[in-house]
Chains A and B, each alone.
Chain A
């Protein structure tokens, strides 16, 4: 454990610490930022009256739109002279969101990433290859500073150039690779197609630190098997700090939230009501120690569940389930809640199917019609109709058994599913609800 004092702190003490830090964070935001002051005043909330964790439900929410509206520095609570770095989201769907860090914030950021790496079993003996993009995106620099903080030899290769990634893994003796799960699969594909001579199992690579996009257990299985590594989830949002808000441990069952820096709640995404521990809903974040950009009750849109168990790793920090979807892309089909990530899992399971898919929901009469378009991958194609028909039937049956919906499966040509900014458009909802 990188920081046992906090990571294994008894729960009662964590809650005491959180209350103390919340008081500071709320009043810091209120006193030093005009947006928060207006929000709190409008809601009739004064941080001076904040007495117990239960009072959190009276604090107004912050959402993505608020952050966009305050572009670029509107949510800063320290003078710019104290801010040493900014990160920013890409802003493909509106104004970018900008997040600032003081030197102390950077230190917290590095600390939580170092803790994450240590929870996968990393030590200063490890060589960490950071294949997340370096730049405004928090992934590259976040993992970089965290790796250095833990004492790993940190290789700042950044994303892309698979041939070079492979060369450095071999030549430098890389033992940990940090990248997105889809890039990890990309490497596996590359090895299969272009470098059958390269044996990943003969390199020192043993751990994958994967995050920045939702991924399923099926994907974990595939990555671990094809690359011969242990794959762990690292979770975070740039609005809150970046990667390291929560992290899996070697138990691979849920992600510990670093509660001494982040306060988490689960709410009903429709009503905003706080839900009891253990229930599934939207996770909401409040920073406890951040100076430059405090986030107060930030609505992440990520759907998960929070719970405490006596984890075999010894950490007492609350756990969140691997994020299975987002409240804004959840589909309700004939009364069943479906997340695109579940559909992805089913497709991954059916052997050979690469998950390039699109879900089209329409309504004929009173019933919802679901069509799932699946791009045919080369290794899936056959000159025989019956083979392709069997594949369709298999996918259809898995949908019925796993998700409880019957869907029409349509096989389509590669690259025929619309992509925007390199990302596929997963859901087309034609219903007028």
Chain B
């Protein structure tokens, strides 16, 4: 099982992000981490949350354009050079990262990196063979 990320289309105007967050808040969806990729007229909000299936359904019901994407979440040591080490593995395998972002875990000394690949399974295999722990959905929300 992979971590499910919600991707939401948002116009680049005041109030539009708020509208989406309000819908999620009122539905008791807890956001674990998020990032926004922006252009001049729109942005894509990428969200990892506790109940992605429910969040997706509720956003669609409110006519918000969104989709679910499987992303790769790995745990790395929260220490200098650790991210570089992980990324080196992808480079060696010729795997292109579409985008990535991070958050530190509440557990001490760990960070969770979120990666988006064209082919998540290949990337997963490359990392597991190097001893990385692939984070599953359950563990993120298990906190």
Do B99 and A382 have beta carbons less than 8 Å apart?
A: no
Q: A377-B65, A414-B64 are in contact. List 17 more A-B contacts (CB 8 A).
A: A376-B65, A381-B65, A382-B7, A382-B67, A383-B7, A383-B44, A383-B67, A383-B69, A383-B116, A384-B99, A385-B37, A385-B39, A388-B44, A410-B41, A413-B10, A414-B63, A415-B63
Does A309 interact with chain B (Cβ within 8 Å)?
Answer: no
Which of A382, A411, A413, A415: most chain B CB closer than 10 A?
A: A413
C-alpha gap A382/B37 in the complex (Å): 12
Nearest CB of chain B from residue A383's CB, rounded to whole Å: 3
Tell me how many residues of B have a C-beta within 8 Å of chain A: 22
Residues of B within 8 A of A378 (CB): 60, 65, 67
Residues facing B in A401-423 (CB within 8 A) are 410-416
Q: How far is the CA of A381 from the CA of B64 in the complex (A)?
A: 11
Main secondary structure of the interface of B (DSSP, over half): strand
Q: Does A328 contact B (CB under 8 A)?
A: no
Interface string of A365-380 (1 = CB under 8 A from B): 0000000000011100
A171 interface residue per 8 A CB criterion: no
For residue A125, CB closer than 8 A to chain B, the reply is no
A416 to B39 alpha-carbon distance, docked (Å): 18
Closest residue of chain B to A378 (Cβ to Cβ) is B65
Residue A389 CB within 8 A of the other chain: yes
A73 to B46 CA separation, bound complex (whole angstroms): 61
Q: What would be 18 A-B contacts, judged by CB atoms less than 8 Å apart?
A: A376-B9, A377-B65, A378-B65, A378-B67, A381-B7, A382-B7, A384-B99, A385-B37, A385-B39, A388-B39, A388-B44, A412-B11, A412-B42, A413-B9, A413-B64, A413-B65, A414-B63, A414-B64
How many angstroms from the CA of A395 to the CA of B60 in the assembled complex? Answer: 26
Main secondary structure of the interface of A (DSSP, over half): loop
Asked if B9 and A381 sit within 8 Å, CB to CB, the answer is yes
For residue B44, which residues in chain A have a CB less than 8 angstroms away from its CB?
383-385, 388
Closest residue of chain B to A408 (Cβ to Cβ) is B41
Cβ of B45 to closest chain A Cβ, rounded Å: 10
Q: Closest residue of chain A to B37, judged by CB?
A: A385
Q: How far is the CB of B40 from chain A (nearest CB, A)?
A: 9
**Residues from chain B with Cβ under 8 Å of A385 in the complex:** 37, 39, 44
Q: Name B69's closest neighbour in chain A (CB-CB).
A: A383
CB distance from B31 to the nearest CB of A (A): 16
Complex-state Cα separation, A414 to B64, whole angstroms: 7
A384 to B99, CA, bound (A): 8
Interface mask (B4-41 → A, CB under 8 Å = 1, otherwise 0):
01010111000010000000000000000000010101
- B41 partner, pick from A382, A411, A414, A415, beta carbons under 8 A: A411
Interface string of A382-398 (1 = CB under 8 A from B): 11110011000000000
Contact of B66 with A by CB under 8 A: yes
Bound complex: CA of A383 vs CA of B117, how far in Å?
11
B98 within 8 A of A: yes
